[in-house]
Structure 1
Amino acid sequence: MALTLRNLLAEPGLGLRLLPGDPSTAEQLDREISWAHSSDLMNPTPWLEPGQLLLTDGGQFPFEPDSNAVEDARTYAERLRKTGILGLGFAVNVVHRAVPRELVDACAEFELPLILVPSSTPFIRVIRRVADAIAEDRQARMQWSIEAQRAVGRAALRPDGLAATLRELESQLGCWVALYDALGQLVPVRTKRGVPADVREDVEAAVAAQLRGGRRAAAQLRETDLAITLQTIGQSDRLRGVLAIGTTLPPDPAASDLIESVVGIASIAIEQSRALDDARRGLRTGVMELYLAGSVDAAARALRDMDTWSPAGRIRVAVVRGARDWGPVLNELELMAVSTDVAFARIGDELVVLFPSNVAPPLEFVARDGLRAGVSGAVGIRDVSKGREDARRALRRADRDGEVVDLERLAERGLVAWLDASDGRVLAARMLDPVRARPDGEELMAALRAWYEHNCAWDPAARSLGMHRHSLRSRIATVQEVTGLDLESFSARTELWLALELGD
C-alpha cells in the first residue's frame, strides 16, 4: 500500500505529529509520498520534486527574529508549495526549541502541512521508512502485475476471448472499458460496465479526433472527474479502433503495462477479424453474382450462413464508382453490416449495394470520399439485375464527385427533368438556335411560347400577343420552316415543346 502523510503520522515508532491547529485537509494528508529529503537550505527546491516530504532542523532560520523573518518564511513556504512538496517536517530541540512562529504562519497561509519531528527521531529513520514503504509498494505492484497479466492471458484463451479480456481488465483495474471501431462506433462487446452517461459525448468526440489523426497514439481525456485513457488499436495509417478506459486515478506503470497488453490482444483479435473480412469479401462477390443471375434462394442461404442481413421483399440497388482504393470503403461497409440492413460487393470497377426500399441509402461515404453513385427505384428481390441497370442509368447523370443521383427523385420531377439530366439542353439548343439567330428571332420565340401556353389554339394565343391570328400563323410557319419540323403533327409539336422547355 502506498505511504501517505496520514500513514506516516500513524507510525508509532516515529513520534511524528501535526502541529496543533494545522489546517491541513484530508486530501493533503492522503496523497502518496514519493520520497523524503532533508535540507537546511533556504531554497532547496532545485533538488526537490512534487510529491516529496522535506525534513529540516531549521538551521536556515535565525535564532532571533529580524526585520526580514516574516518575508523569508513566507518565501520559503511558498517555494515548497509551488514545487508540490506534500509536507514539511520540522525537528524541534535540535536547533530550535519550537517551530519559529513566522514559519508556522507562513505554512498555514500557503496550506503546507507542518509536521513536528521529535529530537529522538533521526531524519534517516523517517527517510528509511519512506524508502521501505516505496520498495514494499513496488514489490506488491510487481506481484499484482504478474498475476494480472496471467489473468488477462487466460481470459484471451476463452471462446469469447476479446470480451473476456476486456472484462478481466475491468476487474483488475476497477474501471470501465469501451471498444470503438474504425468508424468511431461503440463495438457491442459484453463488458461489466458501460461508459458513464455524463462523459459519453466527450469520449466519443475524443475517439473521433484520434481516428481522424490516423496515427497510433495514447491520450488522456481532460476536464472530467475520471482518468480516461484512450489508446488506438492497429497500425499507423490503418487504425482499427480505439480502446477507452476510465479509472478513478491515472494508471501507474503497472496498470499502463496491463493496458498495453490488452491493447495488443485486442489488436490481434481485430486483425484476425479483418483477415476474415477479406475472405468474406470474396464470398460477398459470389453472393451478389447469384442475385444478379436470379439465384435468390442460394444467395440468401449464403448470407444467412455469414450471419448477416439477407435481402427480402422490396429493395433498392445502388451502384458506386470512382474509388482508387476500395479497401477503406469495404472496411466501413463491413462494420456497417454488423448493425445495418445492407448487402454489398465489389464487382469489377463498381460497388453494388442492396438495402431495404423503406430506408435512406447507406451511402454517407460517397460525399466524404468524392465518389459518385446512382440509386434505383424499388425492385423485387428477383429483379436485382434490373435494379442494377436502373442504378447505372442514374449514375450516368451524376456530373460531379460526391453526388448521389436517385432515380426516384428524377422520376418525381418528370420527363423534362430526366431529359435535362441527360444533357437534353444540348439538343434543344441545336434545334432552337437557328430561330434565335434570325433578326426577328425574339418575336418568333415569343409567338412560339404563347402558342404552346394556349395549347396551340390560334385565337387565344393571338389575343395574348395583341395580334391577328393570321400574323401568328405566319410566325409559326416561319419557325416550322427554320426548324424543318411539320408542326401539323402531334409528335413534331411535342418535340419542339420539349426543346422550348429545356431551352428555357
Structure 2
Amino acid sequence: MTTAAAPSHPTVASLLRRADLSLRDLATADTRRLSREVRWVHSSDLADPTPFLSEGLVLLTTGRQFEAVGVDAYGKYVARLADRGVVGVGFGTEVVREGVPSPLIAACRAASMPLFEVPYRTPFIAVARANAEEVAASSYARRTWALSAQRAIALAALRPDGLGATVSELARQLGAWVGLFDAAGELSRQHPAAGLSAETAGALRTEVGAVLRRGARAGSSLRIGDTPFTLQTLGRGGHLRGVIAIGAGDLDREGRGVVTAVIAMAGLALEQHGDLARARGALRAGVVQSLQGEDSAAARRIARDVWGPMPEPPLAVGLTDAGAAWSDAVAEYLEVRADERRGTLFFGRSEDGLVIVAPASRTEVMNDIADRFGCRIGVASPATYSTFARTMDQARVARDRGDGGVTRFADVARTGILTALDTADARALAAAALHPLVEYDRAHGAALHQTVRAWLDADCSHEATARALGVHRHTVRARLAAAEKALARDLTSFAVRAELWAAFQALDPDA
C-alpha cells in the first residue's frame, strides 16, 4: 500500500523537474538516489566542507576547490560528501570554469551521487529558495493531512464497532497494514483483512506477546522479512490492554501525532471495555462460587442467560496458578475463546486461581493456555456439576503437585497418598513430632529414634526389631518404654503409631 497521506517531501528529482531553474541532470545516480529527501540546500567551494554540512543536504559549488588538483582529489571529495550524508551536488558553470569537470562526473557516478549542472543564469539562491518553498508546502500539506486524518479517525470511533473502524481508518490514512492485538496477544482486528502472510503474522504475534509479557508501556520498531513494523502498547504500565501494530517504518512527526491520537482513543475504549470486563469477571466469580455450593443449577441458569449454555458433563475442570501476574491476560484470552466456543467453555476466578470448565473430550484449550502463558494448570478427573467442590480440590492438588504445564489428577493419584507428604509443611511437622526422640538420644547417647523407626517398619514386632538392630528383645522393650516417656504418647495406640510412621516417611522415605 502507498501512503494515503500523500504530500511528498522535496527531493533531488523534484528540484530537477522545476522548469524555472533549468537544472540539467548528469545521470550519475539511479531513480532511488534521486528520490531521497532534500532537507536543505547549501553552497560552498571549500575543499572539505563536511564539518559545516548536515545530513540530507544538497551542496552547490562553482568548483573553485578543484583548481590545480589531481584526478584523485575528485573521488576523495565525493566520498567525503557521501559519508556525511549529502544527497546531491549541483555544479555552477560559467563562474569559475566552463562545463562540469569530467573527473567530478566520473567520481559521482562511481559513488551513485546525484550530480546536476546549475546554469549561469540560475543563481544558487534561487535553487535554495525553491527547495525551501517545497519544504514549506510539504510541511503545510502534512499538517493539513494530520488534521484531516484525526477528524476522520474521530468520526470512525463513533461507529458501532468503534475500535474496528478506528483501526481501518488509521490503515487507510497511513496507507499501511494496521492490526490491533488484545491483552492476550491475539489479533482481534486488522485492515486490510488477511494483509499479512501466515509466517509474518506468526512472527509478529510472538513479538507482541513478548511486549505484553514485559508489561511496560513502550513503543518499538522491528523488521520481519522485508516488512518494517512499529508497535505501540495500549493501557497503563503493568496493566496493558493490547498493542497496535503498524506495517510501516519510522513515521514523521505528523504521522506519529495521528497514531498517538488513535492510541489515546483506543486506550480509552479498551479501558471502558475493561470496566465492563471486570463486572463480567465478578459475575463469573460468583457463578464459580455457586457451583461449589449446593445449588449448582442456579449458577448454571445465570451463566446460560449471560453467556449461553454451560459445558455438558462429563467435565474437565482446570485450575491455574493463583494471583499470577499474567492472570488478566489469560482471562482476556479465555474471553475470546469462550465467545468462539460458546457452550463448550466457561471460566471464572476463584480464591485459588482461574477455573476453566470444558467438556472432558475438549481439553485442548488448557494445553494451549499452559504453552502460551507458561502457567501451571491442574485438571481434575472427569466429573459432574454435583461434585464440583470435590472436583476443584482435585484440580488444586494436581496443580500444586505438578512440575509445570498441565497436570492431571489421575496421574497424581497413581503416585499414592504418601507422596503428598513431600512438602515443606509436612517435613516441618514431622521434625517437630520426632524432636523429643532426637533430643533424648543426644542427651543420653541412646538410640530411641532408630529403635522406634525400626519397630514401626517391622509392623511393631519386638522380635523382628531386635533382629534388625542386633540387640535383645528386652532392650527393644526398654527403649520403647523410654520413647513413650520422651514423646508423652501411648505407643499402643494405632493413631499414634500411624502418625509417627508418617513423620518418619516425610523426613526420610527411603531410610
TM-score, length basis structure 2: 0.75
Preserved contact between residue 317 and residue 384 of structure 1 (Cα < 8 Å): no
Of 388, 391, 412, which residue of structure 2 is paired with 1:387?
391
Cα deviation for residue 307 of structure 1 reads 3.4
Look up the equivalent residue of 1:52 and give its one-letter code: L
1:412 aligns with: 414
Q: Report if aligned partners of 1:166, 1:191 keep a CA contact under 8 Å in 2.
A: yes
Residue equivalent to 2:353: 351
* Distance change in 2, residues 1:169/1:58 (3 Å): same
Q: Deviations over 1:401-441 (max 9, x none)?
A: 989875322322235545667959889989x99xx999999
Seen in structure 2, the aligned counterparts of structure 1 residues 364 and 478 have a Cα distance that, compared at 3 Å, is farther
Pairs within 5 Å for 1:483-498: none
Counterpart of 1:46 in structure 2 is: 51
Per the alignment, residue 186 of structure 1 pairs with 186
> Secondary structure in 2 aligned to 1:89?
strand
The 1:299/1:366 distance shift into structure 2, 3 A limit, reads: farther
Counterpart CA distance in 2 for 1:285 and 1:72 is: 79
Partner of 1:260 in structure 2? 260
Number of the residue aligned with 1:470:
none
310-319 vs 71-80, which moves further: 310-319
Give the whole-Å Cα distance in 2 for the aligned partners of 1:498 and 1:112. 85
How far does residue 18 in structure 1 lie from its aligned partner after superposition?
A: 2.1
2:160 corresponds to = 159
**Residue 73 of structure 1 aligns to which amino acid in structure 2?**
Y
- 2:287 touches 2:348 (CA, 8 Å); kept in 1? no
- Give, in angstroms, the shift of residue 55 of structure 1: 1.2
How far did residue 217 of structure 1 move?
2.0
- In structure 1, the residue matched to 2:5 is none
Partners of 1:367 and 1:402 within 8 A in 2: no
In the aligned structure 2, how far is the partner of 1:133 from the partner of 1:244?
32
Task: State the alpha-carbon separation in 1 of the partners of residues 52 and 478 from structure 2.
Answer: 103
Q: Is the Cα–Cα contact under 8 Å of residues 230 and 246 in structure 2 kept in the other structure?
A: yes
Unaligned 5+ runs, structure 1: 466-472
User: What's the counterpart of residue 18 of structure 2?
Assistant: 11
Partners of 2:76 and 2:215 lie apart in 1 by: 48
Which residue number corresponds to residue 342 of structure 2?
none
SS at match of 2:257: helix
| Alignment of structure 1 residues 190-229 onto 2, 5 Å | 191-193=191-193, 194-222=195-223, 224-229=225-230
Structure 2 equivalent of residue 26 of structure 1: 31
Percent identical: 33
Q: Secondary structure at the match of 1:180?
A: strand
Instruction: Give 2:147's aligned residue.
Output: 146
CA distance in 1, matches of 2:100, 2:368: 75
Whole-angstrom CA distance in 2 between matches of 1:401 and 1:439? 41
TM alignment of 1:315-464, pairs within 5 A: 315-316=316-317, 318=319, 321=322, 323=323, 329-330=327-328, 332-339=330-337, 341-347=345-351, 350-351=352-353, 353-356=355-358, 357-358=360-361, 359=363, 360=366, 364=370, 376-391=380-395, 394=397, 398=400, 406-417=408-419, 423=426
Distance 2:434 2:177 in 1: 67
In the TM superposition, residue 264 of structure 1 has moved relative to its aligned partner by 0.9
Q: C-alpha separation between the residues in 1 aligned to 2:107 and 2:372?
A: 66
Using the TM superposition, give the Cα deviation of residue 165 of structure 1 relative to its aligned residue in structure 2, in angstroms.
0.3
- How far did residue 161 of structure 1 move? 0.2
Matches for 1:165-184 after TM superposition, within 5 Å? 165-183=166-184
Q: TM-score, normalised by structure 1?
A: 0.76
Indicate the residue corresponding to 1:468 in structure 2.
none
The separation in 2 between residues aligned to 1:405 and 1:117, in whole angstroms, is 78
CA distance in 2, matches of 1:428, 1:388: 31
Closer, same or farther in 2 for the Cα pair 1:60/1:308, shift >3 Å? farther
| Structure 2: gaps spanning 5 or more residues | 1-7, 339-344, 485-489
Size of the aligned set, in residue pairs, is: 475
